[in-house]
Amino acid sequence: MTLSLVTGPSAEPLDLLDAKLHLRVDGTDEDSLIEGLIAAARLSVEANVGLALIDQTWKWSPEKSGKTGGDSHYEIPLGPVSSIVSVSVAGQTLPPSEYSFIAGLSASVTFSNALKNSEIHIVFVAGFGQEASDVPRDLRHAVAVLVAHWFENRVPGGLGDMGLPGSVSTLLSSYRKVRL
């Protein structure tokens, strides 16, 4: 499975002013650092819960299917997915009538014909929206808390500090996908 970013988000879920208010920072001396921490915190939150916070375009190439007969169903590994940009099978772009798409946090694409050993590429838009206000408050707060944690702890600690702070993990827990 290959998942690659085509177009990144046009904004961050937390702007510089809100981050500085959260950090109680005045002045502009730390602006570049804080902007970098915001981007890194967004990426960390997205990676930990398998979500895109702000709209982004991705290309996904699932493993080739060995199925014979029946539908070919693929769950998109990143959410929430709002739209499909294109689907190609064996180098040919398919019209939307050749597949069905279910949007949302657990998005999927289903083909009416099995695609045995076919190379599939799905380009899709994932994210809660284009603006920071579109992102759920708890996820925006997780980004803010992570920025604050990294801002206050600029030197890496021992092995126990490698994970997310407990408060961030708690905020993200309801978004983690449970695997059985």
Structure confidence at residue 72 (pLDDT)? 82
User: Among 3-7, 26-30, 55-59, 173-177, where is mean pLDDT lowest?
Assistant: 173-177
* Dihedral Cα 36, 40, 42, 48, nearest 10 deg: -170
Q: At 164, is the pLDDT very low, low, confident or very high (cuts 50, 70, 90)?
A: confident
Structure confidence at residue 160 (pLDDT)? 47
Structure confidence at residue 161 (pLDDT)? 45
- pLDDT tens across 53-78, in order? 999 999 999 876 555 444 588 999 99
Put residue 104 in one of left, alpha, beta given phi > 0 → left and psi -120 to 50 → alpha: left
- pLDDT tens across 143-152, in order? 999 999 999 9
